[in-house]
Amino acid sequence: MTTSSLSPRRHLAALPPYTPVLPFDVRAAQLGRTPETIVKLDANENPYGPSPLARRALADLRYAHIYPDPESRALRQALAEFVDVPADHLLAGAGADELIDLLMRVMLEPGDKVLTCPPTFGMYAFDARLNAAQIVEVSRALPRSSTSLLKEGQGSGEAFSLDLDAIRRAVEEHRPKLLFLATPNNPDGSLPSPEILDALLDLPTLVVLDEAYIEFADEALGRHKSRIMQVPQRDNLIVLRTFSKWAGLAGLRVGYGAFPSWLMPTLWKAKQPYNVNVAAQEAARATLRDLEERQLVVAHLRYERERLYRGLQTIPYLEPYPSQANFILCRVVGKDAAALRQRLAEEFGILVRYFAKPGLEDHIRISVGRPQDTDRVLEALEEIANEGIAN
């Protein structure tokens, strides 16, 4: 073997370097605090954790020493009832994240194109690059003050709304194989209208709706907002869902997707055999037996979202956007958003999310927590406001 053959795939050299997310306990130690005193509102997790039945299933786990069912049969059967889609259209994954990557691995030849509408969830572009695809970006309407990225004709619509005409033109010109859309979108929490979604589904491309947060959208558990029931009737629709948010199982890594029949055999061939572990499968199944409890948790979080939203509206240097998810994006006016994030962490032990991304440099995103978390974050933001000095 010559040393010149000792190199990773060439396209990976162009990937931005890996920036690890600090584990919660490490971040807490860095801030000189114990994890219990931190208010963690930076990753859209569920502060209530798993449902009681899911906790019990984990405590009673009997088969941790046996490999999991590679087809997640019992879980897929329970999901089929939950989402009203036949199990043979459903695939479980180690989080929706795994399914995004799996889908790209089976669909994309190097150089194929993936259309995304930034600002949005970063994994679409990350996985597209990993799979040597080209990314076609059709930006959402940016808030008026975020001029850094504004090009001619952009920024005219409601903040973060989709530019349907530009998407149509981009599909026509670039013929992307996949179009990824988070519904509701991360980081702003907006949900496109049914008319826009219908128009997108008429485009000649495979549309992936990422419904990671759909359970927090206006109808209970997102049943009516979701498009998942339409998957069996359409050849060009994929819907991804997760147990990370509404079900409080982010740490266990379990999600699922509904895919058209023509794609299922290839997904089965390409996935890792034991992709969803025993604990995750059991906890997810138990959650589906505990829907009344989850409905309450989702209702609490939705109520708290409105309380947080109203509170944020009273903070003079913040402009929150209405959200259909379990987080609220805020524009920061007259203060440096990155510095604000830093102060909240260091002085108050409150973690919120900042994105150094075009159109978002003057924003922070705050996940919805418990009532006491809302109180802490609003008190801190008010204290900073009352200082009357910009950072």
Of the candidates 92, 124, 128, 281, the one whose C-alpha atom is nearest the C-alpha of residue 210 is 124
- Count, residues near ligand PLP per rule CB under 6 A: 13
* DSSP code for 389: S
Give the C-alpha separation, 329 to 352, whole Å.
Answer: 10
Angle at 119 between CA 156 and CA 181, to 5 degrees: 100
Measured between alpha carbons, how far is 154 from 121 in angstroms, rounded to an integer?
20
Q: φ and ψ at 277, to 5 degrees?
A: -75, 165
Sequence-distant (6+) residues with CB within 8 A of 17 are none
* Piece in contact with ligand PLP (CB under 6 A), picked from 3-11, 89-97, 111-119, 131-139: 89-97
Q: Is 44 in the site for ligand PLP (CB under 6 A)?
A: yes
Residue nearest to ligand PLP (CB): 95
Which stretch in 80-88, 90-98, 216-224, 364-372 sits in contact with ligand PLP by CB under 6 A?
90-98
When asked if residue 127 is in the footprint of ligand PLP (CB under 6 A), the reply is no
Does residue number 255 form part of the binding site for ligand PLP (CB under 6 A)?
yes
Examine residue 210 and tell whether it contacts ligand PLP (CB under 6 A): yes
Residue 150 backbone phi and psi in degrees, to 5: -60, 125
Are the C-beta atoms of 110 and 346 separated by less than 8 Å? no
Q: Determine, following the binding rule CB under 6 A, whether residue 146 of this chain makes contact with ligand PLP.
A: no
Segment near ligand PLP (CB under 6 A), from 63-71, 91-99, 199-207, 300-308?
91-99
**What is the smallest separation between the CB atom of 27 and ligand PLP, expressed in angstroms?**
17
- CB of residue 187 to ligand PLP, shortest distance in Å: 8
Closest CA to 231 of 211, 212, 249: 211
243 vs 309, beta carbon nearer ligand PLP: 243
CB nearer to ligand PLP: give 182 or 384: 182
SS3 (DSSP) at 363: strand
Measured distance CA(49)–CA(76) in Å, rounded: 22
For ligand PLP, which residue of 116, 131, 186, 205 counts as binding (CB under 6 A)? Answer: 186
Select 176 or 255, whichever has its Cβ closest to ligand PLP.
255
Contact positions vs ligand PLP (CB under 6 A): 44, 95-97, 121, 182, 186, 210, 212, 242, 244, 250, 255
